[in-house]
Amino acid sequence: MRISPDFWVASGNKLGIEENPSLAQLYSSLLGTAVELETQREALAWLEKHIHRLDMSCSDLPVDPQNLNEWMRSSAQFVASQYAEYLQQRKDGGSRRYFSNRAHALYFLKAAAPTKLVDGAWLHGLLKHWRNTKFAGLVRIYIEELGDGNSGKNHVVIYKSLLARYGLDLPAEFDEDFYTQGLIQLTLASNADHFLPEVIGFNLGYEQLPLHLLITAYELNELGIDPYYFTLHVTVDNPDTGHAQRAVQAVLDNLPRLGCAKDFWQRVQVGYQLSNAGLGTQDIIDNFDINVEVTRIFQQKSSAGHNAHSDYCRVAGRHVNDWLSSKENIPEFLIALQKSNWIVRGAPVCKSRFWNLLRGKRAEMFGVFTSYELQVIHDWIRGSDSSDGQSYDESESQRPPAAAINFRTTQRQIATRGNPPHDFDSDTSEKLLLDADLQILVEKLLAATKDGQETMLVEVMSPAHHWTPAGLFATRMFNDMIM
């Protein structure tokens, strides 16, 4: 069943914009410090077109919104039973369901970044309406997504730190589809007054605890990758006192009482469907092909390396500079490296002369590849043996059994040696931070009226700023103001 768009597009609000701007560019523009009106109009037009194409036949929401609490509990119980089955399968010796090796998991973290780096954005537009008690639960969810102004709990800060820890850059080279979900969130953030029912419905869908979150956290930990961002969501999205319950209550609180609630509920269902739009966790995981990723990495390096090798550097009788002169040569170049035994697939990486150029004692190519790229090359060379989750910088001869390697175990071992594991310095006073934006914000707040201060705090709590020192400071001030 396709739904009519008439009930959410008011007359005079149809923008008639026919251009199709790059989703990556539109996403980046909405995260800018000063979003232009034209950008907002383009994003609104794009979202309206996206809504027109929604297929509502796959919605699992109850017909009557008064049954939402029962629906939420039933969904949570189903997820719990599915996760129990997964754990039993693993206990019985089953392999990981999501990540074939460490490179696969890191690819997922990188590819999910456009969505994770705007976590909670869809609710920002409601902050200015915090005095409306119907929005109390939604405002509280947004503030908690921002960690109450604590850097160690701010979801975007945590994810940015996760990317930095494993050398993962924002994936500018990915296809447009990777930006769809994040762009929806940013568009809702800047058009909350226009899309109020959709914002509430989106929040309803996004705050329910999904099975993929539990499995992702389990397998990341198993591979020795910090799962904290994901385990944090497992706790805050619980159906008892967490965001899942508040999301249901927000729907019930905002259903119209002085008129027909049917249209409002229909629009809430549209928002719920939007929460599943774009590439999901399973889509991103299934998109990974290590052969394709290795080729992409070498192609990316070719432009910088095609004139960087001496004349005596040859592979299969051909100068390396020649091999790297065109991206189209790379697939054949990788085959040539294998045929000439520079790369020995399916064997320990130390058997490959090429790997020794990257990580050997002399390592003439040290620094050419990022830690993520090294992990991909490492796992590609090792082949099926890479399923043990070995990190590229671990010694195979000294590696403990795979079952003993996970992030939490490693952190405990570090702590017992007297070196506390990395944590966020959440208690540092802003006065000690050298941050120009923070200093400017404080000066402006001191000079502003009460209403001006509130407007300023809401602005700095936007998806573009809230993870910065100024944004964290603003979050704490706003939180104190509304308490």
**Mean pLDDT, 10 residues at a time, the chain of 483 residues:** 40 39 88 84 93 88 95 95 98 97 97 95 97 96 96 96 89 77 96 96 95 97 95 78 90 92 95 94 95 93 62 72 84 92 94 89 78 96 95 64 58 54 45 79 94 96 96 96 90
Provide the pLDDT for residue 172: 55
Provide the pLDDT for residue 417: 53
DSSP per-residue letters across 225-244: ---HHHHHHHHHT-TTTSHH
Q: Is the dihedral of CA 429, 452, 193, 176 positive or negative?
A: negative
Q: How far apart are CA 283 and CA 249, in angstroms?
A: 30
Contact 376, 293 (CB under 8 A): yes
Q: How far apart are CA 285 and CA 289, in angstroms?
A: 9
Provide the pLDDT for residue 242: 83
Report the percentage of the chain scoring pLDDT > 70: 83
Q: How far apart are CA 362 and CA 242, in angstroms?
A: 53
SS3 sequence of 142-208: HHHHCHHHCCCCCHHHHHHHHHHHCCCCCCCCCCHHHHHHHHHHHHHHHCCCCCHHHHHHHHHHHCC
Domain boundaries, the chain: 5-287, 290-394, 430-482
408 token code pair = 């939490």
Terminus-to-terminus CA distance in the chain, angstroms?
44
pTM of this prediction exceeds 0.85: yes
Is residue 55 helix, strand or coil? strand
